[in-house]
Chains A and B, each alone.
Chain A
Amino acid sequence: MAAEPASDAEVERLFALVRGRYGDRLTPAELDEVRKGVEGVVQTARALRAVRLESSDEPFSPFIPYRADP
């Protein structure tokens, strides 16, 4: 399922978040690579968002309550 190119405002906002957190430890070339990574994240997310699910489709990660004693 191909997702549309992710060069847009969402990419810019998310990249700004990442740059704000880590920009001081990255070179300009590394920042460019991180930006490509953010584009990949957004493309991947859009592929997920394109699928319609019912509210009854629960996350597939069962939580089991914990109790130490019997």
Chain B
Amino acid sequence: MSESPAFLPIRRLAELVRSRTVSPVALAETFLDRLETLGPTYNAVVTVTGERAMAEARRAEGEIAAGRYRGPLHGIPYGAKDLLATSGGIPTTWGAAPLREQRFDFDATVIRKLEEAGAVLCAKLAMVELAGGMGYRQPHASFTGPGINPWNPGAWSGGSSSGSGSAVAAGLVPFAIGSETWGSILSPAGFCGIAGLRPSYGRVSRHGAMALCWTLDKLGPLCLTAEDCGLVLEAIAGTDPADPTTSDRPWSYEGADVAGRRFRFGVIKGVATGSEEAVRANFECSLDMLRGIGTLEEVELPELPWEAITRTILHVEAASAFENFIESGKIAELTAPEDHYTPYARDAILAKDYVKALRLRGVMAREADRVLSRFDALVGPGRAAVAPGLEQEFRSAIRGSAPDVMGAIGNGAGLPAVCVPNGFGDRGLPTSLQFMGRVYEENAVLAAARAWQALTDWHLRHPAVNQPA
């Protein structure tokens, strides 16, 4: 094989595997080596799962040689955010120092489904401790250290799926699984210049995943391209008796050619207000380009406290999900100093206010559906700023100090969104664009993102990644 597999999209790797140009074992060895040697550079990895990876790779190789090809993920290495349960004695730390030795005796449904698709688990990837549920506000909030951005070692890789973002961006794995409660897939994808897909709530089983907020948590892929996100989602989507919130609507990826397709895009009035200058400039350029493949219409949302709705639900559910951890004082053993005390204030949320948030969530869901029913996608900046510096305190919508209407509505109403790169901003760091769709319309947002990536080459640019001396 003449081309390096490090930055090849899944579709290309799958062609090489299927044609037996490259063997799954060789592929696993390549990515395991990259994870071992380069993973520490980015604080991207908690555990390299070498033994399991080689067993899965050898099985894939035998099956393919015997003519039993399972599909595009067969023999493809991947990494999983370290909040997904894995059997076989592999730790599942949730990014938290007190849980370094936590182990489960079963695989999360997502891990099982990827195994059934023939994918090869190579690593458990670093994350913000407890997926950020304790209220962290700076990058040093994981016992594996701050996630380091492959585009700039002085910048954060995003969170809470920090390692999922940096590992894909640095070519340590072809794809990764992350989770999002509010921003945890879109943030690392946007900061690291890759594609990240937040599926509709209930599209992917949460069984075996750490619970942060039962009604907000979603699992989804981070990949080099939007196309790859579709391939991975097809493998992990579906109803699961172990997670009663999964939807029984069947889903398959419609990867048809989007050339010539016209899209209807909506833009929420003022959606880029408050964004960094480079983010705003790149967003305006993106809108100009999108006019070439569809219509663009500005939409105005009713004045509602969108962020307060989602934030209240998040804080109450997180306080309850981690009640034992918080009440016992175990949070004092977490890495970020602010995680030692921030959750206590959530005891001040009154039941009546929480129920009001749940009632307003209905208004939010109906309003979002009313607006989105007229469009293929709403478009907005993926993030309002490029990745913050490693020592920088950041503004967070979850904490209530930064506006993020698309994030509040998208997560509060359980809507799918895909984030893709659209240029570069300060300090050589990527900026991004998001397409958010009607619930269960992952194919619409993926088609829009694929059309965008057919127009641009931002997804073909990769950071300079060197083996350590």
Binding site for B on A (CB under 8 A): 1, 3, 14-15, 17-18, 21-22, 25-26, 30-31, 33-38, 40-45, 47-51, 53, 57-61
Chain B 342-367 interface 0/1 with A at a Cβ cutoff of 8 Å (1 = within): 10111111100101111111110100
How far, in Å, is A49 (CB) from chain B's closest CB? 7
* Least CB separation from A44: chain B residue: B308
B342–A61 touching, CB < 8 Å: no
Minimum CB distance partner of B362 in chain A: A60
Residue total for B at the interface (Cβ-Cβ under 8 A): 36
Distance between B221 CB and nearest chain A CB, rounded to angstroms:
27
| Interface assignment of B282: CB less than 8 Å from any CB of chain A | no
Q: Given A26-B341, A33-B342, A51-B305, do A44 and B312 touch, yes or no (CB 8 Å)?
A: yes
Which residue on chain A has the smallest CB distance to residue B364? Answer: A60
- Does B247 touch A at the CB level, under 8 Å? no
Residues from chain B with a CB closer than 8 A to the CB of A30 are: 340-341
Picked from B215, B347, B363, the residue with its CB within 8 Å of the CB of A21 is B347
A60 to B47, CA, bound (A): 39
Q: How far is the CA of A42 from the CA of B350 in the complex (A)?
A: 9
Nearest Cβ on chain A to B469's Cβ, whole angstroms:
42
A interface footprint on B322-344 (CB within 8 Å = 1, 0 otherwise): 00000001001000001011101
Which one of B329, B345, B356, B358 contacts A41 once the chains associate, using CB atoms below 8 Å?
Answer: B345
Question: How distant is the Cα of A45 from the Cα of B344 in the complex, in angstroms?
Answer: 16
Q: Which of B304, B340, B349 contacts A45 (CB 8 A)?
A: B349
Chain B, Cβ-Cβ closest to A53: B359
Tell whether, in the assembled complex, residue A49 and residue B344 are in contact, meaning their CB atoms are under 8 Å apart: no
* Cα–Cα distance between A41 and B345 once the two chains are bound (Å): 8
Known: A1-B304, A59-B359, A60-B358. A37 touches B353 (CB 8 A): no
Q: Would A44 and B311 be within 8 Å (CB), given that A1-B305, A59-B355, A60-B358 are in contact?
A: yes
B303 within 8 A of A: yes
- Which chain A residue shows the least CB distance to B313? A61
The dominant DSSP class at the B interface is: helix
Evaluate contact between B341 and A49: CB separation under 8 angstroms.
no
B292 sits at the interface (CB 8 A): no
Which chain B residues lie closer than 8 Å to A15 at the CB level? 348
A35 CB to nearest B CB, Å:
8
Contact A38 B332 (CB under 8 A): no
Nearest CB in chain B to that of A36: its residue? B345
CA–CA, A41 and B358, complex, Å: 16
Q: Is B173 an interface residue (CB 8 A)?
A: no
When distances are taken between beta carbons in the complex, the residues of chain A under 8 Å from B363 are: 53, 57
Chain A residues near B255 (CB-CB < 8 A): none
A residues in contact with B341, CB < 8 Å = 22, 26, 30-31, 33-34
Are A38 and B312 in touch, CB under 8 angstroms?
A: no
Determine how close the nearest CB of chain B comes to the CB of A53; give it in whole angstroms: 6
Q: For the A-B complex with A26-B344, A45-B312 known, give 18 more contacts whose Cβ atoms are closer than 8 Å.
A: A18-B345, A18-B348, A22-B341, A25-B332, A30-B341, A31-B341, A34-B341, A34-B344, A35-B345, A37-B135, A37-B344, A38-B348, A40-B399, A40-B400, A53-B359, A59-B359, A60-B359, A61-B358
Write the B278-310 contact mask toward A (1 if CB under 8 angstroms, else 0): 000000000000000000000000011100110
Closest to B348 in A: A14
Known pairs A57-B359, A59-B358, A61-B358; A48 contacts B344 (CB<8 A)? no
Verify A47–B348 contact, CB threshold 8 A: no
How far is A18 from B312 in the complex, measured between Cα atoms in Å? 17
